[in-house]
């Protein structure tokens, strides 16, 4: 198969290079803000139109040039602005959604050539070698139908997200924070059905599946103490976890998957406070305060959190 440089197939340009703190969050907006995250298509929120800046059109590809998981490549489903260190790929010729996904995966396969805060992809992305066309064996695959199957929300209610009305709560008042006492993955039998949670930022924290009996209850939240520090994941099933770089948050309230997803999103906003040398251990977790929606009697409004997640597009697929 003939290989060509990426810029033979796409027009490639830098994104907006906006700082999110200079934009106005707006849940009712049609404009997504794409960051260097490797999750949720890189989208962190919706924002209000910025001055006279036209957003990029839906259907274009974004590629992260730095960050913890560089070369993360996504086909954007809505119009968008971007953060810094992101390039936008515009197909030179008509291209199907499936073809775009194919090239996203080809781009990501070059990740081994780069390193975060070392050899980043700013100067060389355009010249990465890629196949000149999608293989014939893949041309009949249709991903678009899969995306549309469960796009509906569980409710028709549109809930406002007015964070200025929220209050701060101590994490220790909401959760018991503990460490796992499980063995390391090297001591376990690979190939079972029990998730083993590590400090990765991907796959909901699941590093491998093992055969041993789980020791930690599902319906809890795991926090990455080290590794990809500051990532939180709702765990729906019983699991094992590394005792080194994961902490377990056991709720003191009635938790479910919708509330869990709301809270993990809030908790991830604390990530900027930690890094490889400043780990997020039990003591530091116990000192965290998070801002949450509240009831009239100034308690966390868990009902609102659940209903908010249910109101989002694709919540029927959760």
Q: Looking at residue 228, which CATH number applies to its domain? A: 3.90.220.20
> Can you count the helices (H) and strands (E) in the chain?
7, 18
Identify whether residues 178 and 291 lie together within a single domain.
yes
User: Is residue 147's pLDDT more than 60?
Assistant: no
Q: Which of 196, 201, 199, 312 is nearest to 258 (CA)?
A: 312
Question: Are 293 and 232 in a shared domain?
Answer: yes
Query: How confident is the model at residue 179, as a pLDDT?
Result: 94
pLDDT at 148: 55
Of 88, 120, 149, at which residue does a domain stop? 149
**Around 16, how many Cα atoms within 13 Å sit in the side-chain half-sphere?**
24
Specify whether 291 is located in the same domain as 173: yes
Kind and range of the H or E run holding 266: helix 257-267
197/269 same-domain check: yes
Tell me which residue of 72, 63, 74 sits closest to 14, measured CA to CA: 63
pLDDT score, position 68: 65
In a shared domain, residues 187 and 87:
no
| pLDDT value, residue 158 | 72
The answer to whether residues 126 and 179 belong to one domain is no
In a domain, 204, yes or no: yes
**Residue 156 located in a structural domain:** no
Give strand pairing partners of 18.
Answer: 83
pLDDT at 312 over 90: no
133 falls within a domain: yes
Domain check: are 126 and 186 in the same one? no
Q: Are residues 47 and 133 in the same domain?
A: yes
Q: Is residue 12 assigned to a domain? A: yes
pLDDT score of 144: 55
Q: What is the pLDDT of residue 151?
A: 60
Q: Are 173 and 59 in a shared domain?
A: no
307 or 163, higher pLDDT: 307
Residue 126 pLDDT more than 80? yes
Task: Give the domain-ending residue among 92, 127, 149.
Answer: 149
Examine the domain organization and report whether 145 and 201 are in the same domain. no
pLDDT at 82 over 60: yes
**How is residue 52 written in tokens?**
């006279």
Q: What six digits make up the tokens of 28? A: 């009712």
Q: Which two tokens stand for residue 303?
A: 């009902």
Any domain includes 18: yes
Point out the domain boundary residue: 117, 149, 181: 149
158 belongs to a structural domain: no
- Label residue 159 by pLDDT band (50, 70, 90): confident
- Domain count of the fold of the chain: 2
Domain with 249 in it: 163-317
DSSP, residue by residue, 22-44: GS-B-TT-SEEEE-S-SSGGGEE
Strands (E), 92-231: 129-131, 167-170, 175-179, 190-197, 206-210, 220-224
pLDDT digits (tens, 9 = 90+) for 246-303: 999 999 999 999 999 999 999 988 877 777 778 888 888 889 999 999 999 999 999 9
* Statement to judge: residues 186 and 77 lie in one domain: no
Tokens found for residue 311: 């109101």
- Same-domain pairing of 94 and 215: no
CA distances from 15 to 19, 73, 244 (A): 12, 13, 38
């Amino acid at each position: 198969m003939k290989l060509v440089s990426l810029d033979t197939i796409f027009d490639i340009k830098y994104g907006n290079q906006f700082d999110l703190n200079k934009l106005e969050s707006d849940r009712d907006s049609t404009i997504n803000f794409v960051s260097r995250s490797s999750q949720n298509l890189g989208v962190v929120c919706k924002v209000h139109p910025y001055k006279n800046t036209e957003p990029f059109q839906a259907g274009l590809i974004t590629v992260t040039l730095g960050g913890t998981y560089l070369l993360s490549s996504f086909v954007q489903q809505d119009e968008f602005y971007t953060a810094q260190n992101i390039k936008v790929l515009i197909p030179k010729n008509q291209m199907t959604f499936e073809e775009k996904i194919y090239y996203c995966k080809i781009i990501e396969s070059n990740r081994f050539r780069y390193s975060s805060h070392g050899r980043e992809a700013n100067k060389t992305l355009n010249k990465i070698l890629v196949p000149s066309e999608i293989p014939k064996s893949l041309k009949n695959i249709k991903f678009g139908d899969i995306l549309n199957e469960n796009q509906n929300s569980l409710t028709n209610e549109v809930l406002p997200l007015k964070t200025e009305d929220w209050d701060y709560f101590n994490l220790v008042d909401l959760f018991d924070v503990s460490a796992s006492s499980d063995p390391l993955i090297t001591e376990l039998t690979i190939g079972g059905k029990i998730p083993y949670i590590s400090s990765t930022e991907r796959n909901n924290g699941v590093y491998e599946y093992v055969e041993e009996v789980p020791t930690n209850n599902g319906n809890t939240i795991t926090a990455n103490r080290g590794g990809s520090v500051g990532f939180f994941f709702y765990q729906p099933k019983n699991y094992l976890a590394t005792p080194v770089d994961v902490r377990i948050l056991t709720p003191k309230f009635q938790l479910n998957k919708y509330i869990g997803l709301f809270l993990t999103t809030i908790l991830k906003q604390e990530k900027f406070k930690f890094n490889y040398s400043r780990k997020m251990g039990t003591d530091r977790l116990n000192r965290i305060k998070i801002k949450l929606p509240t009831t009239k009697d100034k308690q966390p409004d868990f009902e609102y959190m659940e209903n908010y997640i249910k109101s989002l597009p694709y919540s029927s697929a959760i």
